[in-house]
Amino acid sequence: MDLYSTIKSLHLIFVITWFAGLFYIVRLFVYHAEAKQMKEPEQSILIKQYQLMQYRLWYIITWPSAVLASIFAFSLLYLNPEWLTQKWMHVKLVFVLLLYLYQLKCHQIFKQLQNNQVKHTSNFFRIWNEGATIILFSVVFLVILKNAINWIFGVIGIILFSVLLMIGFKMYKKIREKNV
């Protein structure tokens, strides 16, 4: 059981650093898009710095954390193959797939920004940043509850949480526009 606990701990640690990387990379995308609207020389200075920060975060923290979290997850499934027969695990694996799709889209955006192609607004990135939050909430509630009925209530809660995030975003945008 000691090996199992160690692998589970490592899995959790790398899931946390993976999400931290995803949350922060999109925040850097917001700053990068806003810097693109600035005048020179601020624009060039900030964009160069954000590109460096994005590169380091993406390749030193986020991708390695995703890979290590997955390796430890597969190890846990190997040690507990009965989990693969449980419905909550099937749903969790769907959310993990969604998380990887989210990361791949972030990677596409990362590559664009590294080439100084800003195709989205800072407001788009603020909304996009909530994607990882929704996946995180979904997975945590699913893993803790492990029950279909409770999970349905969890999905309803996630939808309500998403609506609250959008309302909060719109309110924040109005406040920012008033202060500018």
Q: Considering the entire predicted model, what is its pTM?
A: 0.84
Is 170 known to sit in a ligand binding site?
Answer: no
Is 92 known to sit in a ligand binding site?
Answer: yes
The two structure tokens encoding residue 25:
């990379």
**CA-CA distances (angstroms) from residue 75 to 10, 89, 102, 107, 142?**
11, 15, 23, 26, 20
Nearest to 168 by CA among 138, 142, 132, 130: 130
Task: Please identify which residue in the block is written with the tokens 């693969």.
Answer: 84
The two structure tokens encoding residue 54:
């994005």
Per-position pLDDT tens, the chain of length 180: 599 999 999 999 999 999 999 999 999 999 999 999 999 999 999 999 999 999 999 999 999 999 999 999 999 999 999 999 998 899 899 999 999 999 999 999 999 999 999 999 998 998 899 889 889 988 888 888 886 566 667 667 777 877 887 788 778 778 877 876
